[in-house]
């Protein structure tokens, strides 16, 4: 199952207790990350966000250049931004480390009707007709800005910003630490403190990708990603194409099954209602430990041709888990 940490604990009587535990990814949501402007690699920024936690990064991701900005948030939200930009999956399930890897592209899981409990459903998700991704470029500007001008009593202070700054100067105090999103300073004697800084110039460009084979009478439904501030112009096209590919898979299967080692993000083939077969990604797993290791599973994908010959010949490869020869 992996390693989990106690989050909440309450006793309902002398013999029963309710426990809530969170994974290591939940712990990241409790730690503040101060963000900043970055010109680095995926591996370096992931190491900063996951400092103190054992992790493993797939070689395909390590050297991806990451340029952009992170606001003040939690380590988890910053990690989400990083993975959005690079197209990475984060998984800590059934492991003692955090693993970061590209999403699988070929099926390695087969879930037949003999593994699915009664009550499964098939839902058609809304049609996404286009995807728009806003790319961001941050350039250090030279225009000064007054960040603080007021009378302050002696003490130590931190001033935070909701946009990146640089080139700080101060009168009436001493700067003790600085970064793009904050300044720490000490004031020795009561008096007016004036803190100035320089803003970054933000350039934005929009990448638009249209879905193929849109019905003539379809209503426009554009998915917009506007606040992914680690998505640079170099990465924006890949982000847009990944989102379009994912949202083009509109068939959602929800069912209960007994797990045989499946993980979130695995690509699999599932026997759905009406003898249909769906190829898709495991989007969500909810495991019931008290119910015989059953799991509520959500798979999102697309319907395959109903014949075994089609998807075994076209979708599975020699050496993978195949059931037909």
Report yes or no: 196 and 144 within 8 Å, Cβ to Cβ: yes
Q: CA 134, CA 224: separation in Å to the nearest integer?
A: 8
Question: Is 317 in the same domain as 168?
Answer: no
The pLDDT of residue 305 is 66
Question: Is 27 in the same domain as 94?
Answer: yes
Say how far residue 98 (Cα) sits from the centre of its chain.
Answer: 13
Report yes or no: 107 and 64 within 8 Å, Cβ to Cβ: no
Looking at the 3D structure of the chain, how many domains does it have? 3
Cα torsion through 37, 38, 39, 44, rounded to 10? 160
Structural domain includes residue 321 = yes
Question: What is the tens place of the pLDDT at every residue in 78-96?
Answer: 999 999 999 999 998 877 7
DSSP assignment letter at 231 = -
Structural domain includes residue 134 = no
Structural domain includes residue 228 = no
Question: What is the tens place of the pLDDT at every residue in 17-70?
Answer: 887 777 888 889 999 999 999 999 999 999 999 999 999 999 999 999 999 999
Question: Is 117 in the same domain as 66?
Answer: no
Query: Domain of 13: which CATH number?
Result: 3.55.50.30
Helix (H) or strand (E) holding 18: strand 17-23
Domain that holds residue 61: 4-101
Structural domain includes residue 210 = no
Question: Is 28 in the same domain as 47?
Answer: yes
Question: Is 119 in the same domain as 259?
Answer: yes
Question: Is 67 in the same domain as 113?
Answer: no
pTM of structure: 0.86
The pLDDT of residue 63 is 96
Report yes or no: 159 and 165 within 8 Å, Cβ to Cβ: no
Structural domain includes residue 319 = yes
State the average pLDDT for the chain.
89
Question: Is 57 in the same domain as 121?
Answer: no
Residue 145 in tokens: 């800005």
159, pLDDT greater than 80: yes
């Amino acid at each position: 199952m992996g390693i989990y940490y106690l989050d909440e604990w309450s006793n309902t009587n002398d013999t029963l207790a309710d426990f809530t535990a969170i994974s290591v990814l939940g712990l990241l949501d409790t730690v503040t990350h101060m963000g900043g402007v970055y010109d680095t690699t995926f591996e370096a920024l992931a190491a900063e966000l996951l400092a103190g936690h054992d992790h493993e990064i797939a070689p395909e991701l390590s050297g991806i250049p990451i340029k952009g900005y992170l606001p003040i948030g939690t380590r988890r939200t910053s990690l989400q931004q990083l993975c959005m930009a690079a197209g990475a999956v984060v998984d800590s399930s059934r492991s003692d480390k955090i693993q970061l890897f590209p999403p699988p592209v070929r099926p390695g899981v087969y879930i037949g009707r003999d593994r699915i409990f009664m009550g499964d459903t098939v839902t058609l998700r809304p049609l996404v007709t286009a995807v728009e991704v806003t790319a961001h470029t941050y350039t250090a500007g030279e225009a000064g800005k007054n960040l603080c001008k007021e009378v302050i009593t002696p003490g130590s202070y931190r001033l935070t910003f909701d946009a990146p700054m640089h080139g700080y100067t101060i009168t009436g105090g001493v700067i003790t630490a600085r970064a793009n999103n904050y300044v720490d300073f000490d004031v020795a004697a009561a008096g007016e403190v004036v803190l100035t800084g320089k803003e970054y110039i933000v350039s934005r460009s929009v990448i638009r990708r249209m879905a193929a084979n849109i019905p003539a009478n379809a209503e426009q439904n554009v998915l917009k990603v506007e606040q992914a501030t680690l998505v640079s112009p170099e990465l924006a096209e890949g982000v847009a194409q990944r989102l379009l590919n994912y949202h083009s898979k509109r068939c959602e299967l929800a069912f209960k099954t007994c797990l045989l080692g499946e993980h979130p993000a695995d690509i699999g083939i599932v026997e759905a209602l009406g003898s249909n077969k769906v190829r898709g990604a495991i989007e969500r797993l909810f495991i019931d430990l008290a119910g015989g290791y059953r799991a509520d599973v959500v798979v999102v994908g697309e319907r395959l041709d109903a014949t075994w010959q089609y998807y075994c010949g076209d979708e599975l490869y020699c050496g993978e888990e195949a059931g037909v020869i």
